[in-house]
Amino acid sequence: MIDTHARKYVQPFISKTADFLLKIGLSANQVTIIAFAVGMMAGAFYIMGHPILSVAILWVSGFLDAVDGSMARKTKPSPFGTVMDVTFDRIVEIGIILAIAYVHPEIMWPLLLLSVSIIISMTIFLTVGNVSDNKGIKSFHYQAGLAERSEGFILFSIMLLFPSILFWTTLLFFAVELFTAGQRFLEAKKLLK
């Protein structure tokens, strides 16, 4: 929801960063790989006992993830770049979930439920994107929903920073993801008649 409705406010900064990175010779795919590597460090720093640094690094990764898409649209978008981008985003999320599970094994079941809800929501998102006509600026049809990347990062940040409410935050994230899956499923029914 935030990504869909607030992007216009941060897009100028994202575009300027994209222009700078293109100017120094980086490609969109290279920035996708950098965003992935940075994102994976977030989980590692959490395991090492640095939750604030972990959250900061996670958000840098998310910012670079937005920048790589702008870079691709300013040059020549690559279908493989899209595959890398979506795949690496999920691996970063898995890395955060695994890091939390390592540090807090007592909430393994809520984390498992969260993982399942993300799988369901992303399955619908990617399937609809594959079978729909693309009318947007992204390389496939983008379904907005209650939980987009920013909402996920906000919830992950709360999970990483506030372990005393980790159980409840994880269940909230699970519910938000399931709601989003339902939204996308109902939209798909209307869109794909």
Residue ranges per domain, the chain? 2-191
Q: What is the pLDDT of residues 6-56, one digit of tens each?
A: 778 888 999 999 999 999 999 999 999 999 999 999 999 999 999 999 999
Nearest CA-CA partner of 47 in 118, 122, 105 = 105
Contact between residue 158 and residue 173 where contact means Cβ atoms under 8 Å apart: no
Global pTM? 0.89
66 pLDDT more than 70:
yes
If you average pLDDT over every residue of the chain, what do you get?
90
Nearest alpha-carbon partner for 31 in 77, 83, 69: 69
State the pLDDT at residue 140. 59
Q: Under CATH, what is the fold of the domain 2-191? A: Four Helix Bundle (Hemerythrin (Met), subunit A) (1.20.120)
Identify the three-state secondary structure at position 145.
coil
What are the tens digits of pLDDT across the range 107-126? Answer: 999 999 999 999 999 898 88
